[in-house]
Amino acid sequence: MTHSISRRGVLGIAATMALGSKAFAQPAEVVIGWILPLTGVSASVGQQTRVGAQIATDQINAAGGIKSLGGARIRLVFGDSQSKPDIGVSETERLIQRENVAAVAGAFNSAVTFPASEVAQRYKTPWLTMGAVKDEITERGFEYVFRLNNKAIYDAREQLDAMDFFKKETGKGPKTLAMFYEGSDWGRSHAANVRKLAKERGYDVVLDEAAPPNQVDFSSQLLKIRAAKPDALIVAFYTPDQLLLSRQMMEQRLDLPYGVHSVGGGTEDPAFYKAISPRAVAYYFVQEDRQVDALQGVRYPEYDDLEKKFRELLGYNMSAYGAQGFATMYVLKDALERAASSDRDKLRDALAKTDITSGPALYVGYQRIKFDEHGQNTFAHGAISQNLDGQRRTVWPAESRAKDIKPIWPVPAFGARS
């Protein structure tokens, strides 16, 4: 007995098979790679970022995953850079080639991010920069590299903008600056920008010194700083070196009339403050990636749970690095939803069209996230805090200050501090 199938029936079967094939092709999970310093000199920062990213991922999955992909869950895989460029490069290759990630995020250290993101570009895999500020990361014409946070020129400009504002506000301020910084990509990039901007604004840089790696004593450099007699000191160090520097400055009572101005790094790390005497960091000015004493804008209900989990897992309040890990995952979620695909090229195209003006991605402290033609979020910004009575309080920009806060300017000498 034979049966005939109408043309309409054949078309219906074909359509059903096509829909089934499409549904079958949708990923049950989307794999995102992270390159972070989970051990080594920046391990504290790497762990904070990891916790923030994982909390965001858990939230996204609990809320139904990537809805445009049929509820696909996100799974994170991590590579430990150990803050070493060669290891960061090899771990990036592993995540892309063996773990088949849809995108990579990382890697905090500029010296790691610069070559590792080049690997991502070569393999046409989206790379979302976290933490690293070296200007050239997004100035190489790379199509697959994006940066959520400030680049180095933004950081340097904010530091000098704050000094200029305090001078205008009080009628007094520094004329001479010294710079002392770690000697890798981050420190040198920041110093180059400060050097340029200081000249434009009439500051005299009387000392410009890079620290060699693995130094265990800064006494010789501190003697140079003392001899140069700067009005203010700009520093850029990761946590271990920042601890050493701060302790030795206090021990040697190195007074600077207009204080120490640190560009993030160790001075944004909660682990740093747990390990240092409050007296050693009193009146420090810190260029913060995220306003440390308040969220700028509207709070979202999920923040309370986020901050509670962060404290439970790490023992201190949310850091800028944890917030960046959290926000990065929501930027990727937004792009995945719009791409409706985990295909790397489609995800890249979606990231390039990112324009976020509300939602959890802005927990990082920005009012908008939108990448320019180079992949830089031009709406990134920071704030300047001063350590007052043991707390980092925002002192610039002025509109972000609490009503009862004003900078202590100039700062008391060590002998005059209680």
User: 110-122 and 85-97 helices cross at what angle (nearest 10)?
Assistant: 30
pLDDT above 80 for 252: yes
* Greater model confidence, 409 or 298: 409
CB crowding 14-53: b at 16 or more within 10 Å, else e:
eeeeeeeeeeeeeeeebbbbbbbbbebbbbbbbbbbbbbb
Any idea which of 55-69, 172-186, 264-278, 281-295 has the lowest mean pLDDT? 281-295
pLDDT at 296 over 90: no
Is the omega angle on the peptide bond into residue 257 within 30 degrees of 0, that is, cis?
no
Helix pair 320-339, 301-314: axis angle to 10 deg: 130
pLDDT on residue 293: 83
Given a cut of 70, whether residue 303 has pLDDT beyond it is yes
pLDDT digits (tens, 9 = 90+) for 93-150: 999 999 999 999 999 999 999 999 999 999 999 999 999 999 999 999 999 999 999 9
**Average pLDDT of the residues in 280-305:** 79
346, two tokens: 């489609």
Q: Spell out the domain ranges in the chain.
A: 24-150+296-370, 153-288+382-416
Q: Which pLDDT does position 292 carry in this prediction?
A: 86
Q: Does residue 41 register a pLDDT over 50?
A: yes
- Model confidence pLDDT, tens digit, residues 396-407: 999 999 998 999
Averaged pLDDT, 31-52: 97
What pLDDT sits at residue 415?
87
Residue 12: its pLDDT value, please?
A: 45
pLDDT for residue 263:
97
pLDDT band at 1 (very low <50, low <70, confident <90, very high): very low
Average pLDDT over residues 211-225: 94
CA separation for the pair 346, 213 (Å, rounded): 41
Give 327-372 pLDDT, tens digit per residue: 999 999 999 999 999 999 999 999 999 999 999 999 999 999 999 9
Q: Does domain 153-288+382-416 have CATH number 3.40.50.300?
A: no
Q: 24-150+296-370 has which CATH code?
A: 3.40.50.2300
pLDDT of 6 over the 60 cut: no
**Residue carrying the six token digits 């917030």:** 323
Q: Whole-angstrom distance between the N-terminal and C-terminal Cα of the chain?
A: 102
pTM metric for this prediction: 0.90
Q: Residue 418 pLDDT > 80, yes or no? A: no
Tens of pLDDT, residue by residue over 7-25, are: 444 444 444 444 444 444 5
Amino acid 299: pLDDT: 52
321 dihedral zone (left: phi>0; alpha: psi -120 to 50; beta): alpha
CB 137 within 8 A of CB 185: no
Lowest mean pLDDT among 263-272, 303-312, 361-370: 303-312
% of the chain beyond a pLDDT of 70? 91
- What digits encode the pLDDT tens for the residues 168-200? 999 999 999 999 999 999 999 999 999 999 999
What pLDDT does 143 receive?
A: 98
Query: Tokens in use for 209?
Result: 């010194």
Instruction: Assign 417 a pLDDT band (cuts: 50, 70, 90).
Output: confident
Please provide residue 263's backbone torsions phi and psi, each rounded to the nearest 5 degrees. Answer: -100, 85
